[in-house]
Amino acid sequence: MLKKYLAQLALPVLALPRTAKRIIALLVDFSLCVLAVWLAYYLRLGEFVSFTRGGFWAEGMIWATVASVVLALPVFIVTGLYRAIFRYSGWPALLAVARAIGLYGLFYLTIFTVIGVPGVPRTVGIMQPMLLLLLIGCSRALVRMWLGEQYLGILKNASRPRAFIYGVGRAGRQLALAMTNSPEMQVVGFLDDDDRLHGHVLNGIPVYNPGDLAELVITLNISDVLLAMPSISRRRRNEILDQVRGAHVSVRTLPSVADLVQGKVGIADLRELDVDDLLGREPITPNHILLAKNILGKVVLVTGAGGSIGSELCRQILAVRPDKLLLVEQNEFALYQIHQELEEKLARREIVLVPLLASVQDEERMREIVSTWHPETVYHAAAYKHVPLVEHNPAEGIKNNVFGTLHLARAAEENGVVDFVLISTDKAVRPTNIMGASKRLAEMVLQALADDGANTRFSIVRFGNVLGSSGSVVPRFRQQIRGGGPITLTHPEITRYFMTIPEAAQLVIQAGAMARGGGVFVLDMGQSVKIIDLARRMIELSGLSVKDGQNPDGDIEITITGLRPGEKLYEELLIGDNPQPTSHPRIMKAHEEFIPWAELEARLGAMEVALNVNDVSVIRLMMQQLVPGYTPNSEIVDWVYLEQEAEALAAGAEKT
């Protein structure tokens, strides 16, 4: 109790101006000089001298006291004892005090012992400096014990980021407790929507009104707001984020409530906002009957298993407990990573994982895999999807996206696969680039095979960009913000549809479960997002400001680089305007035109010949004839074609 009281008393003392602290120290030393003289007289006479006129004054004690004060205080000032009292510690402090009192003692002893003063015993000249050394040394040690820890704590806290925890519920209290002694961040207050709590103190931490956040950030030097409300709705979460954005603080969120309850939360567990926080819409709870229909107890194959969508499909599939899960991937390291991750998630469940290195372009390898394990469900996520790269390497993009799909589809049909689901993209709608056109042609291949009487149920699931995938703008923007900017954007008006990877994977599985053969399912992506608005939101929720003409002193600049080859300003999800609803509120069914298989097969054969000789101009013309709506928005930028053209021009120039 006494320790707590002394600690509380120390704070206002440490808050005093430096001059006031020095005056207090001088007064203390003045008192110790008097006390040392009084004790010296006691030791000499064997009894305490009274401070009445008959004692203190009659014995000449007054002269010994005046001389002590007049000599000691100037010596202490000159030798620097009052420059940094509260930072003195250990032997250096004692030596400094000893040197100062040694000098003082020399003068005092000379006056009262060597020369002598009537009424003052000569032994006082020896004992008083020794007693003063003991008293001054003890006073410094006591001050260090009392104020030193508090002083160092203030210095330590001053260098730590200061944070608010938004929410005083169980999660918020658990986080505050976990961060009590954190060397990395200091919690200085709670924010909560309940106005009955405002102005109160919870576990020693004050509760503030979130409406005052902008002012509190300045007055209390707040750098971070930690969201500790895992159970609130997405709509309310978005309202809070919009409110916090203008305060120029970094916003971070917590792990699951289960981790908080188990006491596992520390500063390292705090993470940046999830991508769905940036997306800003409420996810739909999955239909577990649809999730299980094509997976539970079955052999399932996923191509592109190491990619963004493929790996999440594998995670979702594993949770539904298939009998076997075949992981097909051409990238060795990506396959190793997803296989190791899934092995750790198995937790002794009797599910067989089979990692298979293979390219979907290898028709024989696809037949070998499918005929060996006879999967009942195939999710085909393997694709080249980076628009500029495919535009610069069009033949390889078409071989992989179109003919890889065809090879796998034929192997599936020959070996009794029941359900085959192709992961497609919104870039397949009225494409302006080879990647989008190749995906639309892959869709048409499955539509034609389904229409031709295939026993396998072929279906297509089409959606837009997924937040956090490889090539997504979100991780790229985050990296650019960490590097101090600028954020690079191809066009100020560019928009995209976005969805989180887990939500997209769940909807793909559910859409595939509703397939009847040849259907094109379109996921409801909500409203399209303006990319420049997404960039601004990410900057502001990082506690920074946008640097532009209106705010030249901002932190992060957004620079416009121009549209890349094949890139569109706007993406669409439907070719026609006749989507049909399904039993799932986020899944629609489209009716898209396609070429009958008999005709398409012959034209694909001609396409394959052009691909084998890399005749880019012919390939591009054939794609325009095959894919309705494909309108290239740039010249041919195939690297090989451009190099060969440059060499031909150089050779022609030499001849002339």
* Helix (H), strand (E) at residue 325: strand 324-329
- For residue 45, the cross-strand partners are none
Q: Using an 8 Å Cβ cutoff, are 535 and 504 in contact?
A: no
- Which residue's entry shows tokens 């703008």? 473
Q: Give the separation between CA 592 and CA 580, rounded to whole angstroms.
A: 12
What SS3 string covers 520-552? EEEECCCCCEEHHHHHHHHHHCECCCEECCCCC
For 87, the token pair is 């930072």
Distance between CA atoms of 380 and 303, rounded to whole angstroms?
5
As given in the structure block, the two tokens for residue 218 are 């300045």
Q: Indicate the SS3 state at residue 308.
A: helix
Do 175 and 165 contact (CB within 8 A), yes or no? yes
Distance CA 515, CA 459 (A): 6
* Cα gap 587→254, rounded to integer Å: 31
Q: d(Cα 567, Cα 388) in Å, to the nearest integer?
A: 8
626 residue type, one letter: L
Q: Look at residues 361, 424, 384, 395 and name the one whose alpha carbon lies nearest to residue 620.
A: 395
Query: 180-183 — which CB contacts under 8 Å span 24+ positions?
Result: 182/266, 182/267, 183/156
What's the CA gap between 380 and 404, in Å, rounded? 10
The alpha carbon dihedral of 530, 535, 540, 544 has a sign of: negative
CA 162 vs CA 27, 465, 574: distances in Å: 37, 36, 49
The tokens for 426 are 């919104």
Active site residue 427: yes
Query: What are the tokens at 112?
Result: 């009262």
Q: Which residues contact 607 (CB under 8 A, 6 or more apart)?
A: 398, 402, 619, 622, 623, 626
Q: Residue 151 and residue 115: Cα distance in Å, rounded?
A: 45
| CA proximity to 525, closest of 545, 503, 558, 552 | 503
Distance CA 584, CA 60 (A): 103
Q: For tokens 């390497």, what's the residue?
A: 393
> For residues 540 and 554, is the Cβ–Cβ distance under 8 A?
no
Provide φ and ψ at 27, rounded to 5°: -65, -40
Q: Which of 293, 298, 399, 427 is catalytic?
A: 427
DSSP 3-state of 350: coil
Distance, in Å, from the CA atom of 426 to the CA atom of 463, rounded to the nearest integer, reads 5
Residue 296 to residue 299: CA distance in whole angstroms: 9
Is residue 635 a contact partner of residue 620, using CB atoms and an 8 Å limit? no
Give percent helix, percent strand, percent coil of the chain, each to the nearest 5.
50, 15, 35
Q: How many residues does the chain have?
A: 656
Question: Measuring CA to CA, which residue among 498, 517, 525 is closest to residue 460?
Answer: 517
Alpha carbon dihedral 59, 65, 67, 69, in 10-degree steps, equals -170
Catalytic site positions: 427
